[in-house]
Copies of this chain bind each other. A is one copy, B any other.
Amino acid sequence: MWLYNAPPRQLLRERYGFAPDDAWLDHVRQSSVRFNSGGSGSFVSKDGLIVTNHHVGAGDLQKLSGEGRDYVMNGFHARTREEEKRCIDLELNVLTSMEDVTERVNAAIAPSMSAQDAFAARRAVMAQIEKVSLDATGLRSDIITLFGGGAYHLYRYKRYTDVRLVFAPEQQAAFFGGDPDNFEYPRYDLDICLFRAYENGAPAHITDWLKWSASGVSENELVFVSGHPGHTSRQLAMGELEYLRDEAFPFALAGLYRKEVALMAWSGRSDENARRARESLFGVQNGRKARGGMLAGLLEPALMASTREAENRLRDAISKSAELKDAAAAWDRIDAAQKIVAPDARASAMLEQARGFDSTLFHIARTLLRASEEQAKPSGDRLREYRDSNRESLELGLFSEEPIYDDFEIFKLEGSLTWLVEILGAENPVVKAVLVGLSPRERAAGLVAGTKLKDVGVRRSLYLKPVGSLAESLDPMLLLAQTIDPESRRLRKIGEAQDEVKRQAYAKIAEARFKLEGGRSYPDATFTLRLAFGAVRGYEEQGRPVPFQTQLRGLYARSESHQGKPPFDLPPRWVAAKEKLDLSTPLNFVSTADIIGGNSGSPVLNRAGEFVGIIFDGNIESCVLDFLYTDRKARAVSVNAQAIVEALRKVYDAGALADEIEGVQRR
């Protein structure tokens, strides 16, 4: 998960006798696309065609669907540019430059400052640097905190907000094998989705896009992955890892379990319910399996022991160096900060992270409320998501025409209000203020029935109005957001101050690590562009070899071995196309590339920088990559490039798209 401005050239040369040059890196970086909804993708034609995963595009497919029109389940195919459907609130980012601003950020912090003042000063200077950059370049400008506070880089992005849906297969082709096969291998999935970036109402003219490989991958071949890993915890102090194991993961899983059960039950009641909940259910199941795998990793004593050993080695080295003595106390400071936030962590999850208010309408209400409140302050004093440089992205979401269903809103809100009561207690004053003497069921129904925020026009009319006039609207969802906001903000403030303490401590550790390890390292993932690499390679499971690649024939065989029953059923188009297909076409392959959630949709490239596949999953053993890289059994799972064009041409009658991807000149 290397930074593009600090690529592991030496390591690659040592291990593979090859290292990408600057032109290679610049080209791949500018071909890489971040899906702000949480995923990765890449340009694959000069006309702005983008390939990502079906499960990355699923949120947009869901928003474009409606009763009787289920693009998630049934897929979509625009046969002409005119049929391409504009996504409702999708923002894509392409990283155009990176700049190290560590010194400028740290210069704003005096050693004598309290944690809270230091946090405020840091937030202010970051907002100011971003604003200056935005004004100067017109580009989205985000400062990224790396090494937990060891470095600050200013990333500038080209934004695309007119993004159109071009093609999606049926979910059953993209996610064949469903939850049972998710995070497993061998796999047989066509987890892809095509979008097109537009500018000024026409397809964007792209200068950097990836050439499609005609040759596929071979075992042990070096491959690269260019994408946006969301989050890793590899440099966490042991105390924080133990906290994840003992509290954070079990709590998160408890929330996912209850939501999965509720969504399954709700979906079971009707096809339309199932359609409305489809993407949420996938997300919850996927999250549950990933976190379950991570927790299982943390419960592997060998893993914890090796992590503890590494930490001890580092602490030992630090304690022996006079130059590094500043870092020696960092771990105690992290533990102390964690002890301060831990007692409020659940309350903070319920209120500030809004786990107790699982409702799109509530999120809209809170955004409106806080936008008004924060607008009155200088940009640098605001909650970070309300800073000037984030305004366009914030508005894109706030004014989204995403369909909102009353029954689904009530259902989700009742469940989450119930959880709120369970976690904070029925006698908690905030809970009492939230429920106003009603049961979660009645309260949820009343809130959804009473709010006007489903209407985007109403949202626009309230946006940035003085807080007093929001209250005058008497919109019950806005009033609810207002009710919990003082406590919610109080909890956030505690957390942010201690995060600053941790940031300073991790910065010390990172500095010491730089000095000891000579910079041969990369920061934890931050949902920003990184370059990973690895070898295409099978593995062993229970003594049996798992081959590196599957073929199209395996898809049919696996479906037959389950008598075609869900989730191993084949979409009708696939049944019909069997005879036409070259069944020896490679379908999915595994590699030792270092990936994590957020990498979904990342292009896999060969040395020539050609597109050979697309990341869509990791095996269950890969969940541990959150804490530790290992290539023993952990594998990234990709769709082969060849399977994509074979399916486009022969299953979906989408030859024009295959031509565009393969660079075949259109007639």
Contacts and interface: CB of A to CB of B under 8 A. Distances in A.
A288 B261 contact: yes
A179 interface: yes
Contacts of A309: none
A270 B558 CA distance: 11
Contacts of A299: 418, 421, 426, 439-441
A374 interface: no
A450 interface: no
A178 B265 CA distance: 10
A268 B422 contact: no
Interface in A247-300: 250, 253-254, 257-258, 260-261, 264-265, 268-271, 288-289, 295-296, 299-300
Contacts of A441: 296, 299
Interface in A400-453: 418, 421-422, 425-426, 435, 437-441
A408 to B, nearest CB: 15
A242 B268 CA distance: 32
B440 A268 contact: no
A617 B437 CA distance: 30
Contact of A257 (B261, B271, B565): B261
Nearest to A268: B180
Interface string A625-666: 000000000000000000000000000000000000000000
Given A254-B254, A439-B299, A246 B180 contact: no
Interface residues of A, number: 41
Interface in A560-579: 562-563, 565, 567
A422 B421 CA distance: 21
A402 to B, nearest CB: 26
B261 A439 contact: no
A439 to B, nearest CB: 5
A454 interface: no
A301 interface: yes
A245 interface: yes
B296 A439 contact: yes
A242 to B, nearest CB: 7
A180 B178 CA distance: 21
Contact of A258 (B180, B254, B265, B562): B254
Given A296-B418, A418-B299, A245 B426 contact: yes
Which of A242, A265, A438, A440 has the most chain B CB atoms inside 10 A of its CB?
A265
Contact of A242 (B178, B300, B426): B426
A324 to B, nearest CB: 30
Contacts of A418: 295-296, 299
Contact of A246 (B268, B296, B425): B425
B260 A180 contact: no
Which of A179, A180, A441 has the most chain B CB atoms inside 10 A of its CB?
A180
A257 B296 CA distance: 18
Given A179-B265, A296-B439, A439-B300, A562 B270 contact: yes
B253 A258 contact: yes
A183 to B, nearest CB: 10
Contacts of A242: 426
A301 B439 contact: yes
A268 B179 contact: yes
A269 B300 contact: no
Interface in A7-55: none
B422 A250 contact: yes
Nearest to A177: B268
A301 B180 contact: no
Which of A254, A260, A299, A300 has the most chain B CB atoms inside 10 A of its CB?
A299
A296 B425 CA distance: 14
Contacts of A301: 435, 437-439
A180 B271 CA distance: 12
Contact of A567 (B250, B253, B268, B438): B268
Contacts of A179: 264-265, 268
A414 to B, nearest CB: 9
Closest 10 CB pairs of A and B: A180-B268, A257-B257, A250-B422, A257-B258, A180-B269, A300-B439, A257-B261, A299-B439, A260-B261, A254-B254
Given A254-B258, A257-B258, A265-B289, 20 more contacts: A179-B264, A180-B265, A242-B426, A246-B422, A246-B425, A254-B254, A257-B260, A260-B261, A261-B288, A264-B264, A271-B562, A271-B563, A295-B418, A296-B439, A296-B440, A299-B426, A299-B439, A299-B441, A300-B439, A301-B437
22 contacts: A179-B264, A180-B265, A246-B422, A246-B426, A253-B258, A254-B257, A254-B258, A257-B258, A257-B260, A261-B288, A264-B264, A265-B289, A268-B567, A270-B562, A295-B418, A296-B441, A299-B418, A299-B421, A299-B440, A300-B439, A301-B435, A301-B437
Interface of A: 178-180, 242, 245-246, 250, 253-254, 257-258, 260-261, 264-265, 268-271, 288-289, 295-296, 299-301, 418, 421-422, 425-426, 435, 437-441, 562-563, 565, 567
